[in-house]
Structure 1
């Protein structure tokens, strides 16, 4: 295996898992979908046929309709069964998003004024330990085929970001070509780190070079901090945000954003802490670990940021000042955030005093329409 620091792609990055967490958590993280027959996605509700209009207020207490949600996960039945068969998910129960179903998804979308959502299924590298390369390839293909089938069944309601397993560079390149050329994915999804290496590590350059050539949209997703043990604080409260921040900073310091200028990056959860600590990058130059002010400012505006559970009157002013209104996208994190969380997230956008009507339209819909033109065309 090549050394991760020598600039060469490793043949097969070493991954490890905590066996006590593996079954319980991979179901939470393995969000890929499997290929299902079209009849499995037929929904008879009027909501499925008539998505909320951008010009019509949604039902309930929400003020905005026609939203495009760039941060949803899916785990349809065949994908769930594959994970069960391979010991990666318990036969019954599991986290809410491991029990994904289309009808409930459409229902919460309609309740929160979401006209279309982009599905993804990021699988943390820590949970690929014990799987052979062939099984990782199979899991990736099944998951991306399944997400594409959801889109084919409801083309006006869904798009998808295809999963790429960064621990296997060759498989990731295969998956990118198949998903973008054959399945017509709207972009790809990668994790912030794989096998302890963060985005920006040269091991991943072959994948990023191909995505740059294609001018791809790359949705990133965090997990537990690499190399950290358990804490009494739930990981999603702090560690996920810190994981995102680590990856963003690593890419800035490594020059990744400069070397691959045509990748359109999406950071979830408001970018973690990155928009609010970027000034430390400049201060860090005095300690030999930072960048100049101009580079830091450019980096802030190279990312898109979704609103999944960071939006509040406390966070919005800083995010707007750092990124600009044209770089913020609506995101719910359904079904990880649960129905109550999705409703809370929508209400936060609708009532945020720092979002005027024009900015709210950009966040809810217009920015995503520009970033994801194929989805915008399908929506009509």
Structure 2
């Protein structure tokens, strides 16, 4: 397929998403089934265009003064891909399978219109109802923060120290452009341009042998802040697919007891194969069975409980731009209730002197600092670990991280704009001895 034909296909997919009200991933899958002639490169390129339109959905429509699928696609090419009017016009030449030629209004918009004067939710590309929450988090910087949250994320990897050292894995992945991440001593980063395909890391020998896992640097740092140690009893209470479980296992050097569980046993499905590939032998996966508590035997005995809390996922918009437009206010209320429940559950598992590491991939204060303050009001037996103490696990990178991240009384907030990571909040709570 030509670049022009790919653009036409992307516009069609965007129209399907809007008219059928289905997730972008489903629309892309259905398009691929209906157009089997398209190769993997074509499908990847079309998906990239669709995701970029979703990243810049509001600002692109504003720029073009046109909220149609075509208008948003053309505006995205200007704002996200950086194409000028003539380059856009070359794609829209009206030829076979190409979009229709630009109208005079479209040419004028691409040449002259800017985002100056656009309301914050438009300039920052986020739903209007979230504006008060983002203003609470970032104040006048919310547009800049949200714009960074709309940009494409790099591909971050975590080196599995149970099997390899970072320099060895970096050398093995040098052909992909892997470089050390700024803060995590275990991280490697592969930068991706706007139109680049994701490299097939899963086919690399280093991945197949379990030397490396895909994990955002912010998630790596969150795990490091938990300070899991060899010989401890550690519980990953919301383990899901096991990303942080694997990180905890490496920190524990295979020594001690590591329990991974999740209230939704379906989320745990990939964890067994991942643990095996990573060479983890001290982890026990406990899936819920009916109403029975899989941790019924654990009472105030854990050294560490890590909570990768269910949240709105606002910090992951770079990777899932479709999610922010599908999110509704009621989802936040549900998540706040879930978070309070899992925090209260963790409180009964931690021994005196033990700790809870509370992590969200959200930037919203209601899910972060406010949730922690409410927990402390309910549980006087817990106290906050000072953020300045938490960050020391980054060793020589601690000062740089502290200068980049947003420190709150309750913990650390990472954002794409500040730390180059996904948005993550981390708070460490200690049970009084």
Shared fold by TM > 0.5? Answer: no
> Shorter-chain TM-score category?
0.3 to 0.5
Higher-Rg structure is: 2
How high is the TM-score relative to the length of structure 2? 0.30
TM norm structure 1? 0.33
